Chain A
Amino acid sequence: MSAKRTMTITDKLYRDRFKVDEDSHLWIKDPNMCVKCPFDFRCIRVCPTDVYKWQEEKVNITYDACVECGACRVACYNVGWKNPKGGFGISYKYG
């Protein structure tokens, strides 16, 4: 029997069903603000699905992993957030 390994978020998201739009429903309003983030990168820290990453001096958004909880939006006013277009985004089978 193999040693039990903690599942990563990527492993978990494989179980979820998404219909990915071409356009992101998430964006950073002012990328300059992120360079000296006053909140110690809350968007990155509170996101349950690792949508946000700090790469090459900017916040990178993997919007196709977003389950639309809204934590980032509440955590930081610099996060632009809207609902995905109808039928797109997360689609729970159980919920």
Chain B
Amino acid sequence: MTEKFDSVVVGAGPAGSAAACTMAKAGMNVLVIEKGEKPGAKNMFGGVIFRHHTEQLAPEFWKTAPIERHVVEYQYWFMTKDSHVLLSHRNQCFNKQFNAFTVHRAKFDPWLAKLAEDAGATIINRTTAEDVIKENGKIIGVKTDRGDVFADVVIAADGVNSMLAKQAGIREELKQDSVVLAVKEVIAFPRQKIEDRFNLGPEEGVAAMFIGWGPGMHAGFLYTNRDTLSVGIGINLHDLDTSGKRPNDLFEEFKSHPSIAPILQEGELKEYSAHLIPEGGYDQVGRIFTDGMLVVGDAAMLVNAVNWEGTNLAMTSGIIAGQTVTDAKKSNDFSSRNLAKYREKLEQSFVLKDLRQYRELPKFFASNPHFFTLYPELANELIYSWHLVGDETKQERIKEAKSMLFKRRSRLGLLKDAYHMWRMFS
């Protein structure tokens, strides 16, 4: 195949399919190449897809899309090695207007790609992009293992390991402390068991996150699907390295935690997966456009690690990239200067505004790891001593708890932490 398209999109994940769909709807001639045997075959997440952003591509998509459950409850587990404090929020508003859905990516991503296909884009699976094709410093196409393809603009939607952005010379190698390694299992249960265990209605779901159980910057996650649970851990690659522990061993430790193990018992493992998450934040986004190319989604490091958002940033970046290319086509100007509008629009959208807001957070948490360990521990110890009864008076207990608290973190330290959090989020 040696063909020229208006745009070639590399990668049929949420970002790539959103870009392809947007351009195809505008009448552009679009080719999507996907290295997996089908879209989603290489993708996994510990996450959800969001109603608001997915609806921009397909209104009321949940009526036809392969979704698992809509999230009605968010759980935050603050753990020590043998206890937990659970903060949970369930709201009927999530039943009246859906907010987020759990999905299996190997099922959802093909559906999303089909939207682009129905809008007129061509999707070719089992095709790996090997390099960018440059001419006079401008990117004019992609070399694939099935031949060369040419385009006015190449959209790199090739995920966190984006080879294309590196080959284009606009991305440096990822840093260990900017990525999180996620390891996940899909575990099957009878549907009723999931609904009983989590106190859920037939279509309702739970999204849960767990901190305090592991080394460094870490989290566990759990999502209820129709008849499976998606359970996993994420750990900063640098912290994994210095912990000296193996990913699977840490994962098994998490799963065997006395608060987690009962939730997972009698399940049947269906799949084991692993993926990197780009969590370097705003400062790691770097250059996401050049002559003849735009970078979207995980490839552009567009992940909000604080609110656990990624697919919505991916879809939004894809939509904006698609609009930018459609506009550029009108003036036939695919130069870096013109494509810079993509970055400008992203800066004006929630995507880069949120990341900019949290700009200092990755660095802050890296130098203040006690947020992931000390505070969960303190919460557990305080609530434990509140409930424990013995011969001491309540006043003695409170005094003891207070002295324990200030021994672990000074009054000044506590004030500083509160101040930093307030500044970060306001």
Contact = CB atoms under 8 A, between A and B. Distances in A.
A9 B125 CA distance: 29
A64 interface: no
A90 B391 CA distance: 60
B241 interface: yes
B366 to A, nearest CB: 16
Contact of A46 (B128, B186, B230, B247): B247
A16 B272 CA distance: 7
Interface stretch (B171-179, B205-213, B376-384): B171-179
Contacts of B230: 94
A42 B240 CA distance: 10
Contact of B271 (A39, A42, A89, A93): A93
Contact of B273 (A16, A71, A75): A16
Nearest to A45: B246
Interface string A83-95: 1111101111111
B275 interface: yes
A92 B230 CA distance: 13
Interface in A11-62: 12-13, 15-16, 19, 39, 42, 45-50
A84 B105 contact: no
Interface in B217-273: 228, 230, 237, 240-241, 244, 246-248, 252, 256, 269-273
Contacts of A95: 40-41, 43-45, 104-107, 109, 271, 273
Main secondary structure of the interface of B (DSSP, over half): mixed
B37 A46 contact: no
Contact of B126 (A39, A50, A86): A86
A19 to B, nearest CB: 7
Nearest to A70: B161
Contacts of B41: 90-92, 95
B176 A12 contact: no
Given A70-B160, A71-B274, A71-B276, A94 B104 contact: yes
A12 B269 contact: yes
A90 B274 CA distance: 10
Query: Which size class do B's interface residues fall under?
Result: 35 or more
A6 B394 CA distance: 43
Nearest to A19: B37
A92 B106 CA distance: 6
Interface in B39-57: 40-45
Nearest to A82: B163
B269 A15 contact: yes
A11 B185 CA distance: 12
Contact of B185 (A12, A45, A89): A12
Contacts of B400: none
B272 A74 contact: no
B312 interface: no
Nearest to A81: B161
Interface string B71-115: 000000000000000000000000000000000111101000000
**Looking at A6, A13, A84, A94, which has the most chain B CB atoms within 10 Å of its CB?**
A94
Contacts of B45: 95
Closest CB pairs A-B (n = 6): A87-B126, A95-B105, A12-B272, A86-B126, A48-B274, A95-B106
8 contacts: A6-B256, A85-B128, A90-B41, A90-B42, A90-B273, A92-B40, A95-B45, A95-B271
Interface of B: 35-37, 40-45, 104-107, 109, 125-130, 144-146, 160-161, 163, 173-176, 179, 181, 183, 185-186, 228, 230, 237, 240-241, 244, 246-248, 252, 256, 269-276
